[in-house]
Copies of this chain bind each other. A is one copy, B any other.
Amino acid sequence: MKKVNIPKGTRDYSPDAMARRRYIFSTIEDVFRLYGYQPIETPAMENLDTLLGKYGEEGDKLLFRILNSGDFLSGVGDDQLHRENIARLSTQISEKGLRYDLTVPFARYVVQHRNEINFPFKRYQIQPVWRADRPQKGRYREFYQCDVDIIGSRSLLNEFELTEIIDKVFERFGMNIDIRINNRKILAGIAEVIGEGDRLTDITAALDKIDRIGADKVNEELRSRGLSAGAVKKLQPIIQLSGDHTRKLEHLGRILSGSETGIRGVNEMSTLFGYLESQDLKASVELDLTLARGLDYYTGAIIEVLSTDVQIGSVCGGGRYDDLTGIFGLEDVSGVGVSFGADRIYDVLQQLDLFPKKVITGTRVLFINFGTAEEKYILSLLPAFRKAGIETEIYPEQAKLKKQMSYANGKGIPHVALAGAHEISRNILTIKDMETGRQQELTTDQAIRHVLESKDA
């Protein structure tokens, strides 16, 4: 037989994996909806001029491009059709690409539909994205993102609400998490007061690695990025501030008193923590001054969520951005959003055995097919089971009982219904519970009640 395969870094989802993934998405969606967020979807393909230049040089290289259909060389002159022209050529023969994330398509969506949208716009979006990354363990070329954003409002109630949503989502999963929060304006203030106001990107890029490489290596990197020894020294007490957020914010208020931006950041965080204290959150929320995250479009709050029980990196993260739609010419639309990492959440739930038992809602009753007369009897009973909402099958072939039972086992079907001459003559069914092996003779009504009341229901 020919070897068939799927592209590297992609996956098939079989029924069991589908059921678990759906549990994850529907749990998240249920919480989003409770807070008034609504779903949108955008096309898998976007025009390349929408995508190019939005993810840095590295990101552009990771875009999957679609070859123009038909005569893809029609716009290419003979003099251009050579190896040295490859960069330009790729743009000439390809106008569209697969979406790389949900953020840029969302920005494009907001700009394109700005006249129909009722702002502030609360949307979520759960769709696959594609990246031509080198595939490796836990990194795929096709994976789902799960983004929730509110756009068109600068209120810190939104940051608060998203933090609460995070708390509720992971509470429903039964996952213990730590929520870390920082503020880009505080980071900017710090850079300012240590006299390196124009080196914010260098500072945050280095700080972002503190968990992975430790403070010493971060300091080394800061110096190698050109920060003065004095500035690096000044930075130490700030990033190692201890105590709870009240204490940290008090200190920062003093340290940053010379920076208008810094003080605004401190005030924003005080307001946000004020909201958070008024509610009863399950997770701990910590002000973490080393939190920077790679993306440099955040302008206010920065949020990151870690599993406390499994070391797997962040399971959710995001922040405030003041210029999402500016890349498409629509200025002054502020938003804040977070993204849930479905693949990592899947791994944590799997590892900690947190998936609910009944997440796989497959068939609940299999009718064994003994022959033509029995088939007829069964067909007269089936509609009542389905009308009662019970997933019910009849084995389609008149196969050996062993084969049919093994089908039931393989599919994890909890109840098997048997009807032979004995049952037909009495107008009953024998119901066998697959886990216990117990068999009972029941009328149709009794059998339906039995299935509905059994613990797998």
Contacts and interface: CB of A to CB of B under 8 A. Distances in A.
Contacts of A391: 33-36
Interface in A177-229: none
Which size class do A's interface residues fall under?
35 or more
Interface stretch (A58-66, A239-247, A299-307, A315-323): A58-66
A362 interface: yes
Contacts of A38: 15, 18-19, 362
Nearest to A132: B69
A448 interface: no
B67 A61 contact: no
A270 to B, nearest CB: 14
A427 interface: no
Given A379-B278, A389-B34, A50 B120 contact: no
B329 A1 contact: yes
Interface string A46-79: 1100100000000001101111011111000010
A41 B65 contact: no
Interface string A287-311: 0000000000000000000000000
Interface in A88-136: 89-90, 93-96, 98, 108-109, 111-113, 116, 118-120, 122-123, 128, 130, 132
Contacts of A451: none
A14 B389 contact: no
A150 B363 CA distance: 14
Contacts of A116: 14
Interface stretch (A4-12, A256-264, A343-351, A429-437): A4-12
Contacts of A357: none
Contacts of A154: 397
A67 B118 CA distance: 38
Contacts of A393: 35-36, 122
B43 A12 contact: yes
A2 interface: yes
A174 interface: no
Given A5-B112, A155-B396, A157-B375, 15 more contacts: A2-B329, A7-B43, A12-B42, A13-B41, A15-B39, A19-B39, A34-B390, A35-B391, A35-B392, A45-B141, A62-B69, A72-B86, A81-B82, A158-B396, A278-B376
Give 9 nearest A-B pairs by CB, closest first. Answer: A10-B43, A118-B410, A36-B393, A15-B38, A69-B132, A155-B396, A1-B329, A36-B363, A65-B67
Interface of A: 1-2, 4-7, 10-15, 18-19, 22, 33-36, 38-47, 50, 61-62, 64-67, 69-73, 78, 81-83, 86, 89-90, 93-96, 98, 108-109, 111-113, 116, 118-120, 122-123, 128, 130, 132, 141-142, 150, 153-155, 157-158, 161, 275, 278-280, 328-330, 361-363, 366, 369, 375-376, 379-380, 383, 386, 389-394, 396-397, 407, 410-411
10 contacts: A1-B111, A1-B328, A6-B112, A12-B42, A14-B113, A45-B130, A61-B69, A65-B67, A72-B86, A153-B396
